[in-house]
Amino acid sequence: MAGTPYPKQQLHRFAYTKLTKEQIAAKLAPVVLKGPTSMSPLAADFAGQTLSIVTDDGPALKYKFTSNGRLSLSENGGKPVDAGFGALESDNFCLFTHLIPGTQRGYAVVIDRKSKQATVIELWFSGYEDNREVQRQIYFGYVDAGGEAPKGRHEFTNRLEGRGYHWRQDNGMETLEYYPSAGYSHFVELSRTGGELGFCAPSDYVKLDNDYILYTRTECEFSGTFTAYAIDMNRVQQLGVRLGFDEADNLNYSLFRGHGDVTGQIAHFEKFEDNTGDPIPGPKDKDGKPVKGGRRVYRPIHTMEKMTREEVAKVVKEHATAFPAHTTTGGAAGMSQNALPASDYLAGKTFTLRYDHGAVMEYRVEGSDQLNWRMNGGDWVKARYQAYEAAPGLVLFGHLLEGAPDHDGHIMAVDFHQGLVTCYNGYLNTPYFANEAGARTLFGVLEMEGLQPPQYRRHQRTTEMLGRCITYSYAPGLVSMHLYSTPNTVSWIIFTPDQHGGMEWSGPGDFVKIRDGIYFMYWLEEACNGTLGTVLLNLNIMHDAGIGYNCGTRGLNMSAIGAIVRHAGKFDVDRYFQIRT
């Protein structure tokens, strides 16, 4: 029986081995003289050639290629060392890579044989607290052939920002890759992990010329693997290199070719004359100079608060807050300035939400912020709530379930015109961190006097949002863009002050169609603050209503979120998520 491609643990859950320097050295040693593997034929025109590369503020590299698989290198005039290498070529570009004996370093070099310009990527292990995370430093320079040095250089660019590709590589890897940022990227491994979730990585984008762009990513927070490839944007082909250790700690040092399809191009938001890249300034040393290999990386697993069940129980008992009373919209997290006004639509109403194969929730709503609920005929409980009328007769409301063993919260989209409800049931005490929210999606009906709910019809999960990018303007200066990269993933990108796409992260999500143009979605910040964020998005008015549910050391909190939205575009990726046998 054929197996499924789905991993037992997704990338953000896998406990990668903390490899020691010695372990890494031992794994690199056998490969240094062999060079990278490749499924495609390697370039065969290097033997007997010499190459001198000068870089700006970087190393001077003198190569002598003794064969098509072996070179000697002198760095900065130093003693030559021998190493195995591999090269791939396309048009006037060649990409070659090698490691350096006795070190944990190596290079990936891209040369434009026509313009004589060069991009040198120095790579090394054991440069960060997690030794397996590959570090990189990019230098721009030229091939010194004895004549006048070219004035131009390859340069960082935003020219790939907003593009998406489906790639199929010669090694069997099939991916969807999204570049919604000029400093990060998002990748979905269709072949290796089944494409359930997409993940984000800090990235570089280098303009080689108008036809080729060099892209890199480092899988920080995950395996630490480094990938770089040059994209022939006319033919939609790639040639690249991968260096890193997989989940089984096997070294992957390989060259690859691939071909792809453009899945789309969404908007980007810099000024029209701004084509610059590298928008996230790297860290500097005490003298103000850039730190070699330094880059700003979002590392949420490092920074998130991690609590035990006992700690969660204590903090919830002491500090459980729903919609803080000091603001009309209740937002405590800065994401509510543009929220819809709270509604009194529910005030005075008595109704029941009957979930399929689930709870029966009865409500007596006293006013615009107080209600009484009871589950399955139990005792009535008073709770603070807030409601937002996202469209006529369509209400989003939420409240905490005081006394629930997992400190549940219910966030519901209730359609009073159709008698339908969808509930995102947030809860704590989840397996990895007790304060990390989990979510259940409950479908059901609304029962109240004078309203006959449907017997068979329900809200439905949808893929209509798949591939879309929506910007959410929560407050002045606080904008993020959602990218719905898989049927189960929400990724979010924030912007730099000059409107480049900046840092990006992602988590699992769910998508339910409520009405035409109206979608109820959630994202879960797994291994990243643990928040459950819900969005009732009304594309008819380009506004959403949302409610967040979060537990940290300051307590359990339910609060409003809301934004004015824009549609940034859509990637055409539906066909990659069809279930086929």
Partner 1 sequence: MSKQSIATRRMFLKCGALLAGPIAAASVPALALAKERSDDGLKARVMRLENEAAIRELHRSWLRRINAGGGMALSGASVRRVTADHADVADRIEIAEDGHSATGRFDCAVEVQSMLPDDFTLGQMAHAQGSGTLRTTERRVLTVEYLKVDGAWTVQSVTSEAR
Residues of this chain that bind partner 1 (CB under 8 A):
183, 280-281, 296-300, 303, 333-335, 474, 476-478, 480, 492, 494, 496-497, 502-503, 505, 525, 528-529, 531, 550, 552, 554
Residue pair 314/320 in contact by the 8 Å Cβ criterion: no
Residue closer to partner 1 by CB (options 129, 379) is 129
Residue closer to partner 1 by CB (options 135, 529) is 529
Name the minimum Å distance from CB 549 to partner 1. 12
Three-state DSSP state, 30 = helix
Name the minimum Å distance from CB 453 to partner 1. 36
Amino acid identity of 145? Answer: A
Residue closer to partner 1 by CB (options 263, 337) is 337
Residue closer to partner 1 by CB (options 195, 502) is 502
Q: How far apart are CA 97 and CA 37, in angstroms?
A: 11
Residue closer to partner 1 by CB (options 235, 289) is 289
Residue closer to partner 1 by CB (options 189, 525) is 525
Q: Show the CA angle centred on residue 266, arms to residues 261 and 272, nearest 5°.
A: 125
Query: What does the block give as tokens for 67?
Result: 């064969």
Task: Give me the residue label for tokens 């189960």.
Answer: 488
Enumerate the β-bridge partners of residue 89.
94
Q: How far apart are CA 352 and CA 445, in angstroms?
A: 8
Dihedral over alpha carbons 396, 401, 402, 404 (to 10 degrees):
-160
Name the minimum Å distance from CB 120 to partner 1. 25
Residue closer to partner 1 by CB (options 128, 577) is 128
Residue pair 360/351 in contact by the 8 Å Cβ criterion: no
Name the minimum Å distance from CB 153 to partner 1. 24
Name the minimum Å distance from CB 573 to partner 1. 24
DSSP symbols for 406-434: T--EEEEEEETTTTEEEEEEEE---SS-T
Name the minimum Å distance from CB 529 to partner 1. 5
Q: How far apart are CA 569 and CA 265, in angstroms?
A: 7
Residue closer to partner 1 by CB (options 459, 500) is 500
DSSP-derived secondary structure letter, 451: B
Q: Where are the beta strands (DSSP E) in 102-190?
A: 105-112, 117-124, 135-143, 155-156, 163-169, 174-179, 184-189
Residue pair 83/35 in contact by the 8 Å Cβ criterion: yes
Name the minimum Å distance from CB 362 to partner 1. 33
Name the minimum Å distance from CB 19 to partner 1. 25
Residue closer to partner 1 by CB (options 441, 496) is 496
Q: Of the candidates 119, 160, 168, 122, which has an alpha carbon nearest to the alpha carbon of residue 143?
A: 119
Query: What does the block give as tokens for 327?
Result: 């603001």
Residue closer to partner 1 by CB (options 230, 503) is 503
Residue pair 33/101 in contact by the 8 Å Cβ criterion: yes
Query: What does the block give as tokens for 271?
Result: 């000024």
Q: How far apart are CA 495 and CA 504, in angstroms?
A: 9
Name the minimum Å distance from CB 236 to partner 1. 30
Name the minimum Å distance from CB 350 to partner 1. 35
Residue closer to partner 1 by CB (options 175, 550) is 550
Cα-based distances in Å from 276 to 33, 155, 159, 168: 38, 8, 8, 29
Name the minimum Å distance from CB 497 to partner 1. 5
Q: Show the CA angle centred on residue 247, arms to residues 242 and 249, nearest 5°.
A: 75
Q: Where are the beta strands (DSSP E) in 233-299?
A: 237-245, 251-265
Name the minimum Å distance from CB 177 to partner 1. 21
* Phi, psi at 90, each rounded to 5°: -155, 125
Residue closer to partner 1 by CB (options 326, 580) is 326
